[in-house]
Amino acid sequence: MSDWESNEDTWDGAAEGAGQGASVLHEVPEPVTDGEGRDFIRAIVEDDLRTGKNGGRVATRFPPEPNGYLHIGHAKAICIDFGVASQYGGTCNLRYDDTNPVVEDVEFVDAIEQDIRWLGFQWDAKYYASDYFEQIYAFAEHLIQKGLAYVDSLSEAEIREYRGNFYKKGVESPYRDRTVAENLDLFRRMRAGEFPDGAHVLRAKIDLNSQNMNLRDPVLYRIKHAHHHRTGDAWCIYPMYDFAHPLSDAIERITYSLCTLEFEAHRPVYDWFIRECDAFPSRQIEFARLNITYTVLSKRRLLRLVNEGHVKGWDDPRMPTLAGMRRRGYSPASIRNFVERVGIAKNDSLVDVALLEHAVREDLNASSPRVMGVLKPLKLVIDNYPEGQVEWLDAPYHPEDPAAGSRKVPFSKVLYVEQDDFREDPPKKWFRLAPGREVRLRYACLFKCTDVIKDAGGQVVELHGVWDPESRGGTSPDGRKVPGTLHWVSADQAVNAEVRLYDRLFAKENPNDVEPGKDFLAYLNPDSLEALPGCKVEPAIADLPAGSRVQFERLGYFCVDPDSRPGAPVFNRTVTLKDTWAKIEAKQDVPPAPAAQAPAPQPDPSVPQAAVAIPARADLKPLAPEITIDEFAKVDLRVAIVREAGLVDGAKKLLRLAVDLGEGRLRTVFAGIRAFYPEPSVLVGRPVIVVANLKPREMKFGTSEGMVLAGGGGDAVFVATFDGPVQPGDPVT
Q: In 159-241, where do the E strands start and end?
A: 201-204, 219-223, 237-239
724 versus 249: the higher-pLDDT residue is 249
User: What are residue 227's phi and psi, to 5 degrees?
Assistant: -75, 130
- Which residues are catalytic, by number? 65, 289, 299
pLDDT at position 725, please? Answer: 81
Taking residues 524-549, report their average pLDDT: 96
pLDDT at position 338, please? Answer: 95
**E strand or H helix at 127, and its extent?**
strand 125-128
The C-alpha R_g of the chain, in whole angstroms, comes to: 32
**E strand or H helix at 75, and its extent?**
helix 72-87
Q: How confident is the model at residue 33 (pLDDT cuts 50, 70, 90)?
A: low
pLDDT at position 329, please? Answer: 98
Taking residues 364-377, report their average pLDDT: 96
Taking residues 497-510, report their average pLDDT: 96
Q: Are 653 and 674 in contact (CB under 8 A)?
A: yes
Q: In this structure, which long-range contacts are made by residues 576-582, counting pairs with CB atoms below 8 Å and at least 24 apart in sequence?
A: 577/361, 577/551
Q: Is the pLDDT assigned to residue 73 strictly greater than 50?
A: yes
pLDDT at position 591, please? Answer: 43
Residues 6+ apart with CB under 8 A from 405: 396, 397
Angle, helix 106-119 to helix 332-342, in steps of 10 degrees: 80
Q: In 561-700, where do the E strands start and end?
A: 570-576, 637-647, 655-660, 666-671, 687-691, 697-699
User: What tens digit of pLDDT does each residue of 164-174 get?
Assistant: 988 889 999 99
Q: Helix or strand or coil: residue 614?
A: coil
The fraction of the chain above a pLDDT of 70, given in percent, is: 88
Q: Is the pLDDT assigned to residue 722 strictly greater than 70?
A: yes
Q: Helix or strand or coil: residue 219?
A: strand
User: Rounded CA gap, 364 and 372, in Å?
Assistant: 16
User: What are residue 714's phi and psi, to 5 degrees?
Assistant: 65, -120
Q: Helix or strand or coil: residue 132?
A: helix
- Per DSSP, the residues of 407-461 read EEEEE-SEEEEEGGGB-SS--TT--SB-TT-EEEETTTEEEEEEEEEE-TTS-EE
**Angle in degrees, CA 162, 167, 169, rounded to 5:** 40
Taking residues 240-244, report their average pLDDT: 96
**E strand or H helix at 258, and its extent?**
strand 256-260
Residues 6+ apart with CB under 8 A from 408: 392, 393, 394, 395, 540
Taking residues 641-651, report their average pLDDT: 83
Taking CA atoms, 418 is separated from 62, 71, 378, 379, 508, in Å, by 47, 35, 6, 9, 31
User: Rounded CA gap, 60 and 282, in Å?
Assistant: 10
The DSSP 8-state label assigned to residue 563 in this structure reads T
pLDDT at position 6, please? Answer: 39
Closest of 186, 31, 3 to residue 701, by C-alpha: 31
- The number of angstroms, rounded, from the C-alpha of 490 to the middle of its chain's C-alpha atoms is 39
Q: Helix or strand or coil: residue 376?
A: coil
Q: In 356-405, where do the E strands start and end?
A: 370-371, 373-374, 377-382, 391-396
Closest of 249, 226, 250 to residue 236, by C-alpha: 226
User: What tens digit of pLDDT does each residue of 389-418 get?
Assistant: 999 999 999 988 999 999 999 999 999 999
Q: How confident is the model at residue 29 (pLDDT cuts 50, 70, 90)?
A: very low
- Say if residue 587 is exposed, middle or buried (CB neighbours under 10 Å; 0-12, 13-18, 19+): exposed
User: Rounded CA gap, 242 and 214, in Å?
Assistant: 9
Mean per-residue pLDDT over the chain, rounded: 88
Q: Is the pLDDT assigned to residue 384 strictly greater than 90?
A: yes
- The number of angstroms, rounded, from the C-alpha of 325 to the middle of its chain's C-alpha atoms is 11
User: What tens digit of pLDDT does each residue of 416-451 get?
Assistant: 999 999 999 999 889 999 999 999 999 999 999 999
Residues 6+ apart with CB under 8 A from 40: 30, 31, 32, 33, 34, 344, 346
User: What tens digit of pLDDT does each residue of 317-346 get?
Assistant: 999 999 999 999 999 999 999 999 999 988
- Per DSSP, the residues of 618-645 read TTPPPPPPP--HHHHTT--EEEEEEEEE
User: Rounded CA gap, 685 and 728, in Å?
Assistant: 11
Q: Helix or strand or coil: residue 367?
A: helix
Taking residues 631-655, report their average pLDDT: 84
User: What tens digit of pLDDT does each residue of 83-125 get?
Assistant: 999 999 999 999 999 999 998 888 999 999 999 999 999 999 9
